[in-house]
Amino acid sequence: MKKILFISGDNCDDSEIQYPLFRLFEEGYTVSIAAKEKKPISAKHYLKVDVDLTIDEICASDYDALLLPGGMAPEKLRQIPKVLEIVNVFFNENKPIASICHGQQILISAKILNGKKATCYPGIRDDLINAGANYVNEQVVVDGNLVTSRRPEDLPYFMREFVKLLG
């Protein structure tokens, strides 16, 4: 059974954590949610999500894929060196990485987007381009082991492609 790691935090987008979580449960995957602290995440609107482990407790080799929800959490997460190290391990080991909306801020800070085709929330488009990505305004973009998407409305397309990549 494949194990999927989510890294998120307070003020994540409710739908961008809940929809992927339920979709992966439906497929029979094991999902672990990591955050800075081992306390429930409070999403932007109403959702509370239990945290399984702290970022410091993550061992990337224990997981088959990584998912980065958007919202305002990525802006803080991108400042944590261990988060960037984890993203680089997944990227360098060619494990699937899925990132939606502002989740790409973490990918930008991890410096893995140079030359990659990707999309994001329109508000960080210039950041994506300045990081060397080939920006495309599409619902979902797959480039190698990387799946990116723009916003909550794109979740069905995003998760369809991520699940395909998981095999």
Whether 12 is catalytic is: no
Active site residue: 12, 45, 59, 101, which one?
A: 101
Q: How many helices (H) and strands (E) does the chain have?
A: 6, 11
Whether 45 is catalytic is: no
Active site residue: 12, 45, 59, 102, which one?
A: 102
DSSP state of 117: E
Residue entry with tokens 């959702």: 47
Q: Which amino acid appears at position 162 of this protein?
A: F
C-alpha R_g of the chain? 14
For residues 19 and 77, what is the distance between their CA atoms, to the nearest angstrom? 21
Residue entry with tokens 């991890």: 110
Catalytic residue annotation = 101-102
